[in-house]
């Protein structure tokens, strides 16, 4: 980490963010968060699948996308892995149905996305098995996921490459890799080191990070996400993405306490 970044992480800033992480990484965080859905199913394959589906729909207003994720869970009758692998999703989404499902996603878009996911499961067993064979760190995992769906023309749902911040993919990886958390599942902790994860970055997090001096650019790119992760690693060296909860807490409290 360069001197500019080291200087930005003062003792007071570190103490504040450590305090927020301790305060907000708890079961109550799940309420109203898309991570809640992966805790509503049983079995590792179901949890992984539900987490991926939830992450892919997690943009825009929570009041709008949370009911859409619930619709997928309901359609799958609590068995999202089999729902995708067996092609049962076609009962909900048809290839020629161009009605809007959620924002940029039409029903046909969801059909194409889930068909590609179905093929991945047929080829590899699980998304985790695919990533295990194609990546050994956080950035590699982002690239592998983007590459697979990009090769199937699914850039609307999953970014076509890792040039953008890939916020939802990075968030999904946080759920899959981090251990000892009441929120994250840690299903992939045996082949991805949590210290290599990349911070989920959107314009709101960029704004917070610039205000705190953790970033000096307002561009929400993969480069910026990696720079922010490096800054957070100075505070949470064994687990940089604990900073995700810290910045969430900062965002909740900044008007009163900062």
Q: Which pLDDT belongs to residue 8? A: 52
* CB contact set of 95 (below 8 Å; sequence gap of 6+): 108, 111, 112
Q: How far apart are CA 197 and CA 199, in angstroms?
A: 7
pLDDT at 217: 86
Q: How far apart are CA 182 and CA 30, in angstroms?
A: 9
Q: Phi/psi of residue 105, each to 5°?
A: -95, 115
CA-based angle 207:9:172, to the nearest 5? 55
N-terminal to C-terminal alpha carbon distance within the chain: 26
pTM of the model: 0.94
Place of tokens 């306490």: 257
Task: State how far the Cα of 53 lies from the Cα of 121, in Å rounded to an integer.
Answer: 14
pLDDT for res 243: 98
Instruction: Compute the distance between CA of residue 167 and CA of residue 55 in angstroms, rounded to an integer.
Output: 9
* Residue range 230-240, pLDDT digits in tens: 999 999 999 99
Q: What is the mean pLDDT of each run of 10 residues along the chain (258 residues)?
A: 52 96 97 98 98 97 97 98 98 98 97 98 98 98 98 94 96 98 98 98 94 92 97 98 97 63
Return the closest-CA partner of residue 225 out of 211, 214, 237: 214
Q: Which residues contact 83 (CB under 8 A, 6 or more apart)?
A: 49, 75, 76, 77, 89
Query: How high is the pLDDT of residue 255?
Result: 41
Taking alpha carbons only, the member of 137, 200, 204 closest to residue 164 is 200
């Amino acid at each position: 980490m360069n001197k500019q970044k080291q200087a930005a992480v003062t003792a007071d800033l570190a103490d504040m963010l450590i305090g927020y992480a301790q305060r907000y990484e708890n079961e109550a965080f799940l309420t109203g968060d898309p991570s809640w859905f992966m805790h509503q199913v049983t079995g590792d394959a179901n949890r992984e699948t539900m987490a991926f589906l939830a992450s892919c729909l997690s943009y825009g207003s929570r009041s709008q996308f949370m009911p859409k994720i619930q619709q997928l869970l309901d359609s799958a009758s609590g068995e999202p892995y089999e729902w995708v692998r067996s092609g049962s999703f076609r009962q909900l989404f048809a290839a020629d149905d161009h009605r809007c499902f959620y924002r940029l996603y039409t029903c046909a878009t969801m059909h194409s996305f889930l068909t590609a996911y179905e093929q991945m499961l047929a080829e590899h067993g699980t998304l985790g098995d695919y990533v295990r064979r194609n990546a050994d760190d956080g950035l590699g995992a982002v690239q592998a996921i983007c590459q697979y769906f990009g090769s199937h023309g699914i850039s609307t749902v999953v970014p076509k490459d890792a040039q953008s911040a890939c916020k939802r993919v990075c968030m999904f990886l946080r759920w899959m890799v981090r251990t000892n958390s009441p929120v994250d599942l840690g299903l992939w902790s045996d082949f991805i080191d949590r210290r290599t994860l990349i911070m989920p970055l959107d314009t709101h997090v960029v704004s917070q990070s610039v205000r705190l001096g953790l970033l000096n650019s307002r561009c929400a790119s993969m480069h910026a996400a990696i720079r922010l992760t490096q800054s957070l690693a100075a505070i949470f060296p064994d687990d940089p993405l604990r900073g995700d909860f810290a910045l969430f807490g900062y965002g909740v409290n900044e008007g009163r306490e900062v």
